[in-house]
Structure 1
Amino acid sequence: MKNFALIGAAGYIAPRHMRAIKDTGHHLAVAYDNNDSVGIIDSISPQSEFFTEFERFLEFAHQLKRQPQTALDYVAVCSPNYLHHAHIAAGLRLGCDVICEKPLVPTPELIDELELVERETGRRVFNILQLRHHDAILKLRDKVSAAPADTKFDVELTYITSRGKWYAESWKGDPRKAFGVATNIGVHFFDMLHFIFGKLQRNVVHHSGEAKAAGYLEYERARVRWFLSIDANDLPDDVKGKKTTYRNIDISGEQLEFSEGFTDLHTTSYREILAGRGYGLDDARHCIETVNVIRSAGVAPAGPDSHPYVAALQR
């Protein structure tokens, strides 16, 4: 049985990590969040220690190191995006391997920095890239691999996930903390595209705003027009009033259906990490490079390679 700590226990994604720790047969020894809305712990791991000050959490974690049976093995990081780098480094320096939510960090330079801390501590960082474990994604990857080598697929990716006014008031609405909509809600899609279609060859941005972003990505095996939004007004007419989220991926005229099968992907990710098959810093680098360019690139005018939704935005 491995001992875990969790940083960011009050966040939306934290319960999936708590359940993954429990479902893989391990122990959540201690959790930390500066927000005390963490009652979910009672239904998953009620005996876990909990702190709302990072200093007390860190001191307790150091005390656990005194006995081999209590020493922490892993730190799970579910904190706001802008704190990931500091919390990952702290976990490594505690002598633990670290499992972090996406986006791992905002820039490739911070991946380089974490590689240094890995070497200094002898510990490793793993990123949750759960779409790589989804059956539909794995089948599509096999299909692409089996296609003639000169085949390039035409892909249209549309993801609209409505967010209320609270979003702008939270850290997620602050580009200094969440790094923008393309990073915050899109990074796992960009990782998925790389995982399926290979290396990125071209990256063009056609729209960049607080609530939506769009562009064109060309990979070794695909041409991708993408649109991401948190604005409910962008939902298709036949979806408005019925659902708050619209996800559509069209691949050369065929729809990729992967709405189901998400429930246990964090647990699957944990099992792979614990078995020595987790995705590390090198695996995360490609999607971090992609979103870093998207954030810094100038906006190009709409054209034949832009998503159909872009023309309406630029009128």
Structure 2
Amino acid sequence: MNPPVRAGFIGGGFMAAVHTRAARAARGHLAALAGSTPERGREAADRLGVERCEPDAEALAAAADLDVVHVCSPNRFHTAHALAALAAGTHVICEKPLATTVADAERLVRAARESGRVAAVPFVYRYHPMARQARNLVADGQLGTVLTLDACYLQDWMLDPDDTDWRADTASGGASRAFADIGSHLCDLVEFVSGQRVHRLAARTRTVFTRRGGTEVANEDVVALLVELGNGALGTLLVSQLAPGRKNSLTLELHGTRRSVRFEQERPEELWIGSRHGSRQLLRDPGTDAPDSARVSPLPAGHPLGYQDAFTAFVTDVYDAVRGGEPEGMPTFADGLRAARLTEAVLASAGAGGVWTDTAPATEEPT
């Protein structure tokens, strides 16, 4: 058997908990953790079952006994922490957004390419088996030509003016909040499932509460988009963190010349497939699903999988790549750069009153 991948973690909050659970399930060795302070790092390491605490992120990034560093720190630190780990010769999983600017995302893509290390971003909704099953239906032509799409990502955790978080501070979270945080996931899934890039978009944003918890807020709560895919398909996307009762509602519906397909992240075991003469539900079954769907489907039909399982499948793929494998569909820093470019386009379009903005990728990596 291959020895366990030795993993280090920068950060000790919610996402670090998700990453450590996934790393443990992927048979990684949870070697080290660094928090925002040594005290918080020690508490998080104990709570998450990580072997030791490093005094700070710089010490962890430079540790000689790590194979991969999981960057789970606030957005503004992603570039520095990921660059430090790559410079030390370590593979990197960096939380999204990969960076808060396109220039920094380009730096990270270059650094990853020059280092020869695996560099991945957890666009984990790709790893729901039924999202991959939908992708297979599109690729096999079972939908016909995709004509339109309707997609949304809705949450309610910032619904009240007293709801606040470091992401609402542009210095820590970046110029975009709702789109960079969850809209990037939605666009990644649109492009992954449809097999088409967003070539143009027109965006409107809204900051409903300009102050939260006594602090001024500049980044957005809500984003509405019109998009045009590379094949001419038109679509609407709605992203909101102020949708009462919606906790993590990512939905993607594609309409083709023959059939439609709908995936809902909060109902991840099924697809809705529509046709002119009837509709049906397709339930996850690795015994009959497409090979790429079955590959990330570790439990038999009737044993529900969810978000943590998707995250574990993603980390398992990254660790396979660390060992020299080439897992299909693994999101890399190039995908993180793509998200940064779309975020920049959304802000530019909204800032100009919702004008159509070109997002057709000339290349996915900077020269």
Global fold match (TM > 0.5): yes
RMSD, aligned α-carbons: 2.8
Once residues 91 and 149 of structure 1 are traced to their aligned partners in structure 2, the CA distance between those partners, rounded to angstroms, is 43
Taking structure 1 as reference, are residues 250 and 149 closer, same or farther at Cα in structure 2, changes over 3 Å only? closer
Once residues 129 and 113 of structure 2 are traced to their aligned partners in structure 1, the CA distance between those partners, rounded to angstroms, is 34
Once residues 67 and 252 of structure 2 are traced to their aligned partners in structure 1, the CA distance between those partners, rounded to angstroms, is 38
Partner of 1:175: 170
User: Quick check: 1:152–1:223 contact (8 Å CA) kept in 2?
Assistant: no
Partner of 2:362: none
Q: TM-score, normalised by structure 2?
A: 0.69
Q: TM-score, normalised by structure 1?
A: 0.79
Q: Unaligned 5+ residue runs, structure 1?
A: 66-70, 302-315
Percent identity of paired positions between Structure 1 and Structure 2: 23
Once residues 54 and 121 of structure 1 are traced to their aligned partners in structure 2, the CA distance between those partners, rounded to angstroms, is 20
Matched, 1:284 2:288: no
Partner of 1:273: 318
Partner of 2:235: 224
Q: Unaligned 5+ residue runs, structure 2?
A: 208-219, 269-305, 322-326, 356-367
Once residues 289 and 137 of structure 1 are traced to their aligned partners in structure 2, the CA distance between those partners, rounded to angstroms, is 24
Partner of 1:311: none
Per-residue displacement from partner, 1:144-181 (whole Å, max 9, x unpaired)? 22338972332222322112458864221123432321
Matched, 1:299 2:353: yes
Once residues 291 and 38 of structure 1 are traced to their aligned partners in structure 2, the CA distance between those partners, rounded to angstroms, is 35
- Tell me which amino acid in the other structure corresponds to 1:28: L
- Tell me which amino acid in the other structure corresponds to 1:224: G
Secondary structure of the equivalent of 1:105? Answer: coil
How far has the Cα of 1:213 moved from its partner?
A: 1.0
How far has the Cα of 1:244 moved from its partner?
A: 4.5
- Tell me which amino acid in the other structure corresponds to 2:205: H
User: How many aligned residue pairs are there?
Assistant: 283
User: Quick check: 1:154–1:251 contact (8 Å CA) kept in 2?
Assistant: yes
User: Quick check: 1:168–1:174 contact (8 Å CA) kept in 2?
Assistant: no
Once residues 78 and 213 of structure 1 are traced to their aligned partners in structure 2, the CA distance between those partners, rounded to angstroms, is 25
Match of 1:24 among 19, 23, 26: 26
How far has the Cα of 1:131 moved from its partner?
A: 1.5
Partner of 1:15: 17
- Tell me which amino acid in the other structure corresponds to 2:239: L
Deviates more, 1:21-30 or 1:71-80: 21-30
Once residues 285 and 83 of structure 1 are traced to their aligned partners in structure 2, the CA distance between those partners, rounded to angstroms, is 16
How far has the Cα of 1:101 moved from its partner?
A: 1.3
User: Quick check: 1:205–1:294 contact (8 Å CA) kept in 2?
Assistant: yes
